Structure 1
Amino acid sequence: MSDAPPSPLMNITNELARERNRAAAERTLNAWSRICLGLIGFGVAYEQVTRSLRRHAASAAIIANPNPTLVGLGFVGMGLLLLGLALVQHRLTLNALEQQGNVLLSIKTLNHWAVVAIVLAGIAGLGVTLVLP
């Protein structure tokens, strides 16, 4: 191993900043993954619980929800869509970090769509929760 100083082209401060940004991108992807897994898990659990309640209920009129499979698939689909958006955002961030000039690409549009999707999923979840007696 040589004890030669780092080349003048490599700035230690910039490399440490890039590593922090990479770590922040990984944490952001992990947070998105948790949100998406929560949506997927809620969709599966909702479908299973509603089916079980309908099976054990004395009359089907007790639970007025139209189709638990469609609601469950909607939440699973939302979770998968958001996970795809998170992966695209993560890849864009890493590509921007790898560029020589380190110019971050604009990902505001992806963030807006993701926030809108989460808000819609929350409203749908609230509506589904209110339908159950």
Structure 2
Amino acid sequence: MNQKPIGTTNELAKERNREAAERTLTTWIQHCLSLISFGIAFDEIFLAINRSFPNNNLLLNTRFTQIIGLNAIAIGIFLLFTAVLAYLSEIDSIQKENYQPPRLFYTTLVGSVILFGLVTFIISIILHS
């Protein structure tokens, strides 16, 4: 007899896990919207810096600024969709009998953040050369 325990304790644990997944999703949404907003505002911030320091190469800096800004917007949108998919996968796995956390989505999320950081770092090195 291999019966799974069913009771109020297990149901409360599942409810806590669902609520934790919802809090995680809202945090990811908040960070993604911040990243998208940063990408939109990055161009204006950089133009204000170029007005303060007019000796910079404005054409080259404008091109890299647009690349960084659009990259931030694209990564923010991608992470937003990935966070929603991770949330749906987490909710689906909570409802199953044998809980297995969805590692692929979390790896994608972390990898995307690292990729954005590397691209921005490389562009900043090129700008300062």
TM-score by length of 1: 0.74
The one of 19, 23, 28 equivalent to 1:23 is 19
Q: Number of residues paired by the alignment?
A: 123
| Contact 2:90/2:101, CA 8 A, preserved across alignment | no
Structure 1 unmatched runs, 5+: 1-8
Residue 122 in structure 1 maps to residue 109 in structure 2: no
Name the counterpart of 1:113. Answer: 108
Name the counterpart of 1:49. Answer: 45
Deviation at residue 25 of structure 1 after TM alignment? 0.4
Name the counterpart of 1:5. Answer: none
| Contact 2:50/2:56, CA 8 A, preserved across alignment | yes
Residue 89 in structure 1 maps to residue 57 in structure 2: no
Q: Deviations over 1:98-126 (max 9, x none)?
A: 34x2x335521111121111011122333
Deviation at residue 75 of structure 1 after TM alignment? 0.6
The one of 28, 31, 34 equivalent to 1:35 is 31
Query: 2:91 and 2:122 mapped to 1: Cα distance?
Result: 38
- Aligned CA distance change for structure 1 residues 38 and 124 (closer, same or farther; 3 Å): farther
Structure 2 unmatched runs, 5+: none
Q: Deviations over 1:14-63 (max 9, x none)?
A: 11011110111012112222321232122122112123344565355268
Deviation at residue 129 of structure 1 after TM alignment? 4.8
- Aligned CA distance change for structure 1 residues 94 and 109 (closer, same or farther; 3 Å): same
Q: Deviations over 1:81-108 (max 9, x none)?
A: 0110100010111122234x2x335521
Richer in helix (by share): 2
Deviation at residue 132 of structure 1 after TM alignment? 6.3
| Contact 2:93/2:100, CA 8 A, preserved across alignment | yes
SS in 1 for 2:61: coil
Query: 2:84 and 2:73 mapped to 1: Cα distance?
Result: 17
Name the counterpart of 1:6. Answer: none
